[in-house]
Amino acid sequence: MTSMSRTRKGSSLFSGSMQAREVRLAWALILPTALIVFGLVLFPAIFSIWISFHKVGLYNLNDVFHAPFNGLDNFKAVINDFAFKWVSINQWGAAVTTIFYSFVSTILTLLLGLVAAMLLNRPFKARGLIRGIFLFPYVAPVISVAFVWRWLLDPRPSGVLNHVLMSLNLIDAPRAYLATRGLAIWLVIIFQAWRYFPFAMLMILARLQAIDDTLYEAASVDGANTWQKFISVTLPELRYVLGAIFLLRLLWTFNKFDDIWLLTGGGYGTNVLPVLTYQLSFNSYDFGKGAASAMIMLAALIIFIIAYVMIVMRNTEES
C-alpha cells in the first residue's frame, strides 16, 4: 500500500518519491501563508529600506521605482528635524521622548501587572469573574478606551477629573491635562500601563501558579514573613518571566502608534517616533523621510534586542 510507507521523520524507509510527495504537499499547504506574509511583510520591509534612500513624495508615488536616489539626505533631514532631536528640557524631541515613554510605561505596566497578579494569586470568591474583568482594558478596542480617557480628562469643567479636583478645591480653574507639556507624557504613560498591565498580569499569574509550594513552606520554617517570602522566593522565581514580558512590552510600546495618536495626536511633548513617522509620511507626504525615521526606529530596536539578549544570556551563563 502506498500509505504504508508515508510515515514519519525522513527515515531511510522512505522511498524517494514518497518523501518528495510529502515535501510537495508541505509547500502546497504553507504556500498561501508564506506568500501573504512575505509579500505583505518581508518584501515591504526591504522595500522600506530602499525608500529611505530615495526621494519619494506624493507626486511620484505612482512611479515609485524610478524615484531619484538621494543617499543619506532623508536620514540627515530626520536627525536635524526639530521634531526629532533633543532641543531643550522643554522640547525633548521624538528620539528621547520615545525612549523615556517606552521604558517608563513598560516598567509601570510590569509593576501594575505584578501587583494585580499577586492579588489574584490567592483563591477567593468570584476570582474567575474578577480576573476576566481585569482583562477588559486589554481586549477593548483602543479607540473606544482612548476616547473615554480623553473625555474623562476633558479640559471643560464638565470633564470628570476637572470636576473632581475642583470639588476637592485642589484646582481653581479647569485644566487641559492632555494639552499640558510635561503632564501629557505622564498621562499617556499611565494610559499605556492601564491598558497593557493585564498582559503582564496573565503571564506573571501563570508563572506564580507554577511555583513549588515547598519553597514557601521552607521559607516559613526559616521564619520568613510575607514580605521576605516575596523577596526571596517569589521574585527570583519570576525573574525570567519578568524579563521576557519586559522585552516584549518594550518592543511593542516602542512601536505603538494608536495610543498616543488618539490621546494627544503627538502634541504637547508626546511626539514619539511612530507618530513622527506617520506625520512625515501622511501629513507632509515625504515618504522618503518617513521611511528614514522608521529605519532609525528599527535600528534602535535591533540594537536594543542584541544588547538585551547579550546581557540576559551572560546572566544565565553566570547563574
CB of 236 to another protein, least distance (A): 20
Amino acid at 245: I
Residue with smaller CB distance to another protein, 41 or 87: 41
Residue with smaller CB distance to another protein, 93 or 159: 159
- Which of 55, 107, 12, 85 is closest to 290 using CA atoms? 55
When binding is defined by CB under 8 A, the residue of 53, 75, 92, 199 that contacts another protein is 199
Matching residue, cell 543617499: 71
Residue with smaller CB distance to another protein, 41 or 306: 41
Q: Under a CB-based contact definition with an 8 Å cutoff, are residues 311 and 90 in contact?
A: no
State yes or no: residue 13 binds another protein (CB under 8 A).
no
Calpha distance 83→272 (Å, rounded)? 9
When binding is defined by CB under 8 A, the residue of 18, 79, 96, 119 that contacts another protein is 119
Residues 50-69, interacting with another protein (CB under 8 A): 51, 56, 61-62, 64-65
State yes or no: residue 257 binds another protein (CB under 8 A).
yes
CB of 15 to another protein, least distance (A): 15
Q: Summarize the chain as % helix, strand, coil (round to 5).
A: 75, 0, 25
Residues 204-243, interacting with another protein (CB under 8 A): 206, 226
State yes or no: residue 202 binds another protein (CB under 8 A).
yes
CB of 30 to another protein, least distance (A): 4
Length of the chain (residues) = 319
Residue with smaller CB distance to another protein, 150 or 219: 150
Q: Which region among 76-84, 95-103, 114-122, 306-314 touches another protein (by CB under 8 A)?
A: 114-122
Q: Dihedral, CA atoms, 66, 274, 204, 314, nearest 10 degrees?
A: 70
CB atoms within 10 A of CB 4: 8
State yes or no: residue 132 binds another protein (CB under 8 A).
yes
Strand, coil or helix: 121: coil
Calpha distance 177→129 (Å, rounded)? 33
When binding is defined by CB under 8 A, the residue of 15, 17, 236, 252 that contacts another protein is 252
Burial of 100 (0-12, 13-18, 19+ CB in 10 A): middle
Residues 25-44, interacting with another protein (CB under 8 A): 25-27, 29-30, 32-34, 36-37, 39-44
Residue with smaller CB distance to another protein, 44 or 236: 44
Residue with smaller CB distance to another protein, 31 or 310: 31
Q: Please count the residues of this chain forming the interface with another protein, following the rule CB under 8 A.
A: 91
State yes or no: residue 187 binds another protein (CB under 8 A).
no
Q: Under a CB-based contact definition with an 8 Å cutoff, are residues 189 and 108 in contact?
A: yes
Burial of 6 (0-12, 13-18, 19+ CB in 10 A): middle
